[in-house]
Every structure is written in C-alpha cells, then in structure tokens.
Amino acid sequence: MPYSSFRTLEQVEELGLCVVKTKLFPKPPTANSPLSEILTQNLERGKNLVLSSSSEKAKSEFIIAPLIAELWAEHHCGIFSGASLNVDTSKQLNGELDFAISKEDSVELKDPILVIVESKKGELKDGLYQLCAEMYAAMILGNDGHDIYGILTTGMLWQFLKLAKGDRSVYLDTVTYGMNEIDVVYHRLVDIITA
C-alpha cells in the first residue's frame, strides 16, 4: 500500500503516532540573507506558471524543485525526487516519496532528515497523514536517530512538521507560510540541514 493511502488519523494512530499542533519554531530562522536572484526569478516564473495551470505536476516542477535545488547548490545536501522508501511492508510503510532531503549528498536515500509531500488536491490537510507515515518511515530508515522534519505544501502554502527522536508525537506547526514568505521557508530548510 503506498504512503498516499494514509488518509485518516486512525491509520496514523495504528503506527503508534499522535498529531499535536504547536508553534514549532519560536524564533526566526538563523539565516536571513536574501534569496539568490536566480531563485527569486525562477520562483516568480514558477508561481505565474502554476497560477495559469491546473496541473499538480507544475507545482512540483516550478515551485518546489527550484527551491530545493537551491538548497542543494548552496549546502550540498542530498535531494531525492520520487525515491522509494520501503521500510516495513507489514505496517504498509512502502512507496515513493514526493521529495526527501538528507544532510549528505548521495545517490542513494540513506538517512533522510526531511520529507516533503505535495498536496494533490490543493489543501494542506489532504497530505497530512501521508506525511506522518513518511516521516515515521524516514525515522525507521535513519541510522543516527535524529529528528525528522516534514513539509506539507500546495506549492503556494507551506507547513512544517517535526517527529522528534524517541517521541511518538508528530508536531504540526500552527504557522503556515505563503509564497510571500518563501524566504522564511528556505531559511528554515537551511537551519534543518545545517543543524
């Protein structure tokens, strides 16, 4: 069963997880430098393309991918799109991820620190339980027991989650970020990768 089949809180609770709403980041991001001119231009073009298209794939290609490509270029992390993460078929923790990021640049997904789920219906909540399952699977795969972060995105809205090592709670940030705050999203990603 693919991760996208996780659609209810009950399915997440069967994994032994609960979802807790909280303000995940009490402080501003550490970095606050302006986004590169290239990324800013690409995101502006991407936003215009997405607004003129009804394609879900357009969000992935023109908004999400340029943002994480910049992260890779600046911080040499591992970026994975459509990677398989099959950790426990008995718990139905198998399937492809929209995106995953690891601290180390590698060709093989070994130790993800963050997973991203693009909401397929344009509502953040539609991908929440899928993301919880993917974060849990990433924690199982991870070999150093670090915290796992997640991002729900519609391409235009972004929301962070955190699954702390040794904890069974998935913390859902009460703050959502729009495209006018994409620099904050990027700098939060930098903080996660460089922690």
Q: Is residue 115's pLDDT more than 80? A: yes
Comparison of pLDDT for 53 and 45, the residue scoring more: 45
Select from 168, 103, 105 the least CA-distant residue to 135: 168
The radius of gyration of the chain's CA atoms, rounded to the nearest angstrom, is 16
Q: Which CATH architecture has domain 3-194?
A: Alpha-Beta Complex (3.90)
- Using CA atoms, how far residue 53 sits from 39, 57, 59, 150, 182, in Å, is 20, 10, 9, 26, 20
Under the banding of pLDDT at 50, 70 and 90, the label for residue 110 is: confident
Q: Which residue has the tokens 């399915």?
A: 11
Q: Is residue 50's pLDDT more than 90? A: no
pTM: 0.93
Q: Is residue 195's pLDDT more than 80? A: yes
pLDDT of residue 120: 77
pLDDT of residue 1: 58
Section 181-187 average pLDDT: 96
Q: Is residue 86's pLDDT more than 90? A: yes
pLDDT of residue 96: 95
Section 92-110 average pLDDT: 92
Section 26-30 average pLDDT: 93
- The mean pLDDT value of the chain amounts to 91
User: What percent of the chain stands above pLDDT 90?
Assistant: 72
- pLDDT, tens only, 141-177: 986 678 999 999 988 899 999 999 888 999 999 999 9
pLDDT of residue 143: 64
Under the banding of pLDDT at 50, 70 and 90, the label for residue 57 is: confident
pLDDT of residue 48: 86
Neighbours of 34 (CB within 10 A): 8
- Phi (first) and psi of residue 192, to 5 degrees: -65, -45
Q: Is residue 121's pLDDT more than 80? A: no
| Residue 19 three-state SS | strand
